[in-house]
Amino acid sequence: MYQFEYHRATSVEDALAKLKKASDGKLVAGGMTLIPTMKQRLAQPSDLIDLGGLKDLRGIKVEGGKVVIGAMTRHFDVANSADVKKAIPALAVLAGGIGDPMVRYRGTIGGSIANSDPSADYPAAVLGLGATIKTNKREIAADSYFKGLFETALEAGEMITAVSFPVAKRAGYMKFPQPASRYAMVGVFVADTGSGIRVGVTGAGPCAFRAKDIEAALAKSFTPDAAGTVKIASKGLNSDIHGSAEYRAHLVSVMAKRAVAQALGG
């Protein structure tokens, strides 16, 4: 690890002011990606601004048909929240399957979504539930948030403060882990929002995306087979030593099928 200056932010404004002042500063939430990268000397930020003290960004509220999760809320807290389990059980399932216990105690929803790792779990739920990303500047709809590999709509000086998930009628999340890292090779979040079907996919492409063909099939018939029989085109999907684009395309249908079964209580 290279040397860097450490700062502990006292507020969102303070964090962003310190970030602005730093020559090559980074905000650190749970640090589950940034810290290992720095330890391998692959990242060399001049300053780290630790958001760990921002208590206002931590917590879960259910209000007005929405589950609002503060950006600094740990995966463990989402997975074990009685409110989340009641309102959107699939979201608790998703959070409980991220990484391992150590990662879940440290990692945060804001950190995950800001990083937009192509195989992270949360992006599937953000798209699948049609969430709203709240920042210090504005609110961003899920559909216009994910832009590409590790690329989002966030601008310089912009920081996620919370994510608001509309409560769905029913929802399910299934992932197929990459055998080594156990990140999602493919993860599919299916939701019957009450005003339509949404299917968010992670792991398969450069960033999370919606599987519109499966949404259309499920709109006609919300059954596992309706999802499972949709053939997904492999063009543009990820391909590596762990699985071809064709395999990932196939898994999108299979995971969607199983997510629907889970949503139906199977």
Partner 1 sequence: MAETGIGAAVRRKEDQRFLTGAGNYVDDIARPGQTYACFVRSPHAHARIRSVDTKKAAAAAGVVAVFTGKDVADAKLGSLFCGWMVTDRHGQPMKTTPHPVLAADTVRYVGDHVAVVIGESREAAAAGAELVSVDYQALPAVVSSVAALKSGATQVHKDVPGNLVYDWVLGDQAATETAFKRAAHVTKIDLVNNRLIPNAIEPRASVGDYDRGTDQLTLYTTSQNPHVHRLALSAFIQIAPETKIRVVAPDIGGGFGSKIFIYAEECVVLWAAKKIGRPVKWTADRVEAFQSDAHGRDHVTHAELAMDKDGKFLGFKVSTIANLGAYLSTFSSSVPTYLYGTLLAGQYATPAIFCEVKGVLTHTAPVDAYRGAGRPEATYVVERIVEEAARQLKIDPAELRRRNFIAPSAFPYQTPVALQYDSGNYVGALDKALKVADYAGFARRKAESTKRGKLRGVGFSSYIEACGIAPSQVVGSLGAGVGLYEAAEVRFNATGGVTVFTGSHSHGQGHETTFAQLVGDRLGVPIENIEVVHGDTGRIPFGMGTYGSRSLAVGGSAIDKAMDKIIAKGRKIVAHLMEASEGDIEFKKGMYTVAGTDKKMSLGEVAFAAYVPHKLPTDQIEPGLDETAFYDPKNFTFPFGTHICEVEVDPETGRTSIAKFTAIDDFGHIVNPMIVEGQVHGGIGQGIGQALLEACVYDEKTGQLLTGSMMDYALPRADDVPSYTVGLTTTPCPHNPLGVKGCGEAGAIAAPAAVMNAITDAIGAPLEMPATPARVWAALQKRAAKAA
CB nearer to partner 1: give 119 or 135.
Answer: 119
Residue placing its CB nearer to partner 1 in the complex, 19 or 34: 34
Among 43, 59, 206, 250, binds partner 1 (CB under 8 A): 250
Q: Which is nearer to partner 1, 77 or 117 (CB)?
A: 117
Return the number of the residue (62 or 254) whose C-beta is nearest partner 1.
Answer: 254
By CB under 8 A, tell whether 229 contacts partner 1.
no
- What beta strand segments (E) does the chain contain? 5-8, 25-28, 47-50, 60-63, 66-70, 132-135, 139-141, 146-148, 151-152, 160-166, 170-177, 184-192, 197-202, 209-210
Does residue 1 belong to the site contacting partner 1 (CB under 8 A)? Answer: yes
Show contacts with partner 1 in window 169-198 (CB under 8 A): 176, 179-181
Q: Cβ neighbours of residue 68 under 8 Å, at least 6 residues apart?
A: 60, 61, 62, 134, 162, 163, 164, 165
Query: For partner 1, which is the closer residue by CB, 15 or 184?
Result: 184
**Binding footprint of partner 1, residue count (CB under 8 A):** 16
Report the alpha-carbon distance of residue 121 to residue 184 in Å, rounded. Answer: 7
266 touches partner 1 (CB under 8 A): no
Angle between helices 122-129 and 89-96 (to 10 degrees): 160
| 89 lies in the site for partner 1, by CB under 8 A | no
| Of residues 23 and 40, the one with the C-beta less far from partner 1 | 40
- Nearer to partner 1 by C-beta: 32 or 54? 32
CB 68 within 8 A of CB 61: yes
Task: Name the minimum Å distance from CB 180 to partner 1.
Answer: 4
Residue position matching structure tokens 């948030």: 145
Give CA–CA dist 54/23, Å, rounded.
Answer: 23
- Closest approach of Cβ 232 to partner 1, in Å? 14
Q: Which two tokens stand for residue 51?
A: 């958001």
User: Which one among 63, 241, 265, 266 touches partner 1, defined by CB under 8 A?
Assistant: 241
Alpha-carbon span 11 to 193, nearest angstrom: 34
Q: Which of 62, 103, 254, 264 binds partner 1 (CB under 8 A)?
A: 254
Residue with tokens 């994910």: 146
107 lies in the binding site for partner 1 (CB under 8 A): no
With beta carbons less than 8 A apart as the criterion, state whether 201 and 121 touch: no
- Report the interface residues with partner 1, using CB under 8 A: 1-2, 40-41, 176, 179-181, 241-244, 247, 250-251, 254
